[in-house]
């Protein structure tokens, strides 16, 4: 506001939209600049280290290879990464900073994309860190008496570490946008990732028909081939991931985005 005259119209020709890269950078910063976000990440990485040390002492020497150690960050991230994403989204409503976020960028779809990019970036960053921690673990395995192989299959890296965790991240997005409340979304996430598969497991034991249907409709069951065995799902298993994914990921995500674009942030 340098002009001393009083213009009745705003000249906005000189200003460009906030670039997506900048929005994503701010969202990434928002995921890490609160105590909850920062300590959750530190906690996850610490937990991985602790489990690796225990594993090094407990496991037989012939299963202390790099791909064995990679299971540890893989499983831990699968569990906690969605929670970071949930907090990143729900804090806009729970902590009410959506009022500021959506006045600085009123095109909400751009904020959604920025949050996705930040979530993906964060996930990849912790995956790389997890990979490095797995190498540290393997090296520690040598100290406890193993002679590990350092080879890792591409299938494992892609399916178990990358794809499974990305699905987790987007599941977090979907739940967060649908429920729009931090505590509620985290409870919802644990119901989805712990209670649902257990219930499906019990039902599968009782009924062989259900056991056949389960991987087509229950996403955790469908993802099992991604994170176990030879990490290479068969064509039928990919189809199961796709159908269960539509039910548990694509539809909730679409509804969640629809809700976030319309909700009144108070």
Question: Is 97 a residue that touches another protein (CB under 8 A)?
Answer: yes
Q: Does 43 bind another protein (CB under 8 A)?
A: no
Q: Does 7 bind another protein (CB under 8 A)?
A: yes
Of 158 and 265, which CB lies nearer to another protein in the complex structure?
A: 265
Using CB under 8 A as the binding rule, whether residue 121 contacts another protein is answered as: no
Cβ distance to another protein smaller for residue 23 or 123:
23
Per CB under 8 A, which region of 103-111, 215-223, 226-234, 247-255 contacts another protein?
103-111
- For the CB of residue 82, give the shortest distance to another protein in the complex, in Å: 20
Alpha-carbon distance 174 to 252, whole Å? 5
22 binds another protein (CB under 8 A): yes
Residues near 41 by beta carbon (within 8 Å), at least 6 away in sequence: 32, 84, 126
Q: Under the criterion CB under 8 A, does residue 23 sit at the interface with another protein?
A: yes
* Interaction between residue 151 and another protein (CB under 8 A): no
Q: Identify which of residues 3 and 206 has a Cβ nearer to another protein in the complex.
A: 3
Q: Which residues contact 202 (CB under 8 A, 6 or more apart)?
A: none
* Pair of tokens at residue 21: 């890269």
Rounded Cα distance, 70 and 199, in Å: 28
234/242 Cα distance (integer angstroms): 12
DSSP code per residue over 32-94: HSSHHHHHHHHHHHHHHHHHHHHHHHHS-GGG-SHHHHHHHHHHHHHHHHHHHHHHHHHHHHH
User: Residue from 42, 107, 187, 229 that binds another protein (CB under 8 A)?
Assistant: 107
Residues that bind another protein (CB under 8 A): 1, 3-12, 15-19, 22-23, 25-26, 29-30, 33-36, 91, 95-100, 102-107, 264-265
């Amino acid at each position: 506001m340098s002009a001393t005259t009083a213009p009745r119209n705003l000249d906005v020709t000189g200003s460009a939209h906030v670039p997506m890269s900048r929005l994503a950078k701010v969202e990434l910063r928002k995921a890490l600049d609160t105590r909850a976000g920062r300590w959750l990440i530190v906690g996850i990485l610490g937990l991985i280290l602790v489990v690796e040390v225990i594993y090094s002492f407990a496991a037989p020497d012939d299963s202390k290879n790099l791909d064995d150690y990679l299971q540890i960050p893989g499983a831990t991230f699968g569990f906690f990464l969605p929670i970071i994403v949930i907090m990143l989204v729900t804090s806009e409503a729970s902590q009410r900073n959506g009022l500021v976020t959506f006045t600085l960028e009123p095109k909400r779809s751009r904020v959604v994309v920025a949050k996705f990019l930040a979530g993906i970036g964060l996930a990849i960053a912790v995956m790389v860190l997890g990979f490095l921690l797995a190498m540290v673990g393997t090296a520690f395995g040598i100290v406890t008496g193993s002679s590990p192989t350092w080879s890792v299959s591409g299938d494992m890296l892609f399916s178990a570490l990358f794809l499974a965790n990305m699905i987790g991240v987007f599941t977090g997005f979907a739940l967060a946008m649908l429920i729009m409340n931090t505590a509620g979304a985290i409870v919802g996430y644990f119901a989805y990732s712990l209670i649902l598969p257990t219930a499906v497991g019990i039902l599968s034991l009782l009924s062989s028909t259900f056991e056949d249907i389960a991987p087509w409709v229950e996403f955790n069951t469908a993802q099992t081939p991604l994170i176990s065995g030879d990490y290479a799902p068969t064509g039928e298993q990919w189809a199961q991931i796709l159908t269960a994914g539509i039910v548990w990921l694509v539809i909730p995500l679409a509804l969640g985005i629809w809700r976030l674009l319309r909700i009144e942030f108070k």
